[in-house]
Amino acid sequence: MIDKKIEAILNKFEVAHFEVAVVGGAVRDILQKKDVSDWDLATSAKPEEILKLFANKSFYNNRFGTVGIKVDGEVVEVTTYRKEQRYKDWRHPDVVVWGKSLDEDLARRDFTINAIALKLGARGQGSGVGKKQDIYTLVSIPNTLILVDPFDGQKDLKDKIIRTVGDPNKRFAEDALRLIRAVRLAITLGFEIEKNTRLAIIKNAKLIAKISGERVRDELFKIIDAENAYVGILLLCETGLLTHILPELDICFDVQQKSPKRHHIFDVGTHCVMSLKFCPSKKTIVRFATLLHDIGKAKVANVTEDGIRTFYNHEVVGGKQALVISTRFNFSKTAREKLFRLVRWHQFSVNENQTDKALRRFIRNVGLENVSDMMDLRVGDRLGGGLQQPESWRLKLFRKRLREVMVKPFTVADLKVDGHDVMKILGLGPGPKVGEVLKSLFEEVADDANKNNREYLLRRISQYKQLKRNSI
């Protein structure tokens, strides 16, 4: 179960007389008999010692002393034993204080299921010593892994419970990132949050505002990527975290949409969450855009004299909000641009009478690379609005026409005639006039691709000859 590459790393620590243990998600995975996706190790070695031990293969990950060791394209995160500190700013300790033992290191971890370790030891060493027991004999090195579980994490793992190590109020006040981590772990693992831990999240929710946008984003994106993402967003809302993380979305749960002559059955917030539920995309940013697509509605909601609810220009307002959110979460330029375009242009209509030109404008606005992502957003939007079918016949037709339009000429260079034809037929020399004729032919073709036909276009050029003569 533990592959040989990891065993080799463990062995290297052992040979150099350092303590080392597998911790974090990897232990959960091993105990749940799942494949390990992400390896975290804890050791008594200091960062400089780890770097020396794995020269050329390791690098400092951040200023808190996590070292990354590269093996076959994967990175194993190694953290020196630490001790819990006073956190003045609810973010992270001002100075890192190294812990003396694995027990001390486990005590500063967030949840019981994350405070279990598999420590490297000599065979037989663990048996009968308190809660420690031998469990894994390693294949390639003469050692065993000893299970160290001081907070009964195994029981919570079995019962599928997220519970803080120690007093939840204290632990969340020390590091407010743990508030959203609790929700993230509950959603990705399919666990429940234990009652007192949950009450403490509600009580301390506002502290999440102290955490940097980037760290919150990383956890939020893990929620968005989860299969049950929509339950995660609802949990953020119920615990009062959403109002600090995405206030733009949080207020949408109070915006009603039910109205005569409208198909909506949900309030805006529920509709957004349900759209995420049904969004078929696996791309985080597309899923995020689907969740946010209607947030502008809260700002522009109105009711006409006949009692009809309107949300004019909500996509314009929503596009601006998407940019503000991108800044808050420190998105890359590409992610920001994509989020903006998907939210800003989501309100397109599909209509069999649309001209090719209108379709091209749609593609230009959305961006060619985002067209199929926009269709995924629309599928989520439809199903999340209570419609039964992911696509209407109109949407299917729209997709088909988009595909056709995308392979049709987009520039003058794609016309089936060129400047030589224009000069020859009209008896012109090179000059701006030639370009003008080509451009007007292009305008015609852009509206109807069937006209991009050499015979037809040559005939049209001859008609210019007529025009020219008449104007003389």
Cα separation of 35 and 268, whole Å? Answer: 39
Q: What is the number of other CB atoms lying within 10 angstroms of the CB of residue 409?
A: 15
Q: Which one of 49-57, 124-132, 174-182, 283-291 is the stretch in contact with ligand ATP (CB under 6 A)?
A: 174-182
Among 117, 177, 325, 441, binds ligand ATP (CB under 6 A): 177
Cα separation of 71 and 7, whole Å? Answer: 12
Nearest to 243 by CA among 270, 205, 214: 205
Q: List beta partners, residue 234.
A: none
**Binding of Mg ion by 40 (CB under 5 A):** yes
Q: Do 256 and 309 form a contact (C-beta atoms < 8 A)?
A: yes
Nearer to ligand ATP, 177 or 295 (CB): 177
Q: Do 357 and 448 form a contact (C-beta atoms < 8 A)?
A: no
Site string for ligand ATP, 112-131 (x = CB under 6 A): --x-----------------
Site string for ligand ATP, 55-94 (x = CB under 6 A): ----------------------------------------
Site string for Mg ion, 347-376 (x = CB under 5 A): ------------------------------
Tell me the two tokens of residue 38. Answer: 């992400």
Among 6, 10, 11, 40, binds ligand ATP (CB under 6 A): 40
**Binding of Mg ion by 116 (CB under 5 A):** no
Nearer to Mg ion, 92 or 222 (CB): 222
**Binding of Mg ion by 175 (CB under 5 A):** no
SS3 148: strand
Q: Do 145 and 138 form a contact (C-beta atoms < 8 A)?
A: yes
Nearer to ligand ATP, 219 or 250 (CB): 219
Cα separation of 68 and 241, whole Å? Answer: 31
**Binding of Mg ion by 24 (CB under 5 A):** yes
Q: Which one of 40-48, 64-72, 310-318, 436-444 is the stretch in contact with Mg ion (CB under 5 A)?
A: 40-48
**Binding of ligand ATP by 110 (CB under 6 A):** yes
Among 109, 198, 287, 297, binds ligand ATP (CB under 6 A): 109
CB of 24 to ligand ATP, least distance (A): 3
Q: Do 460 and 444 form a contact (C-beta atoms < 8 A)?
A: yes
Cα dist from 302 to 57, 247, 313, whole Å: 60, 20, 11
CB of 40 to ligand ATP, least distance (A): 5
Q: Do 457 and 416 form a contact (C-beta atoms < 8 A)?
A: yes
Nearest to 70 by CA among 59, 61, 81: 59
Query: Rule CB under 6 A: which residues touch ligand ATP?
Result: 23-25, 38, 40, 109-110, 114, 175, 177-178
Query: Rule CB under 5 A: which residues touch Mg ion?
Result: 24-25, 38, 40
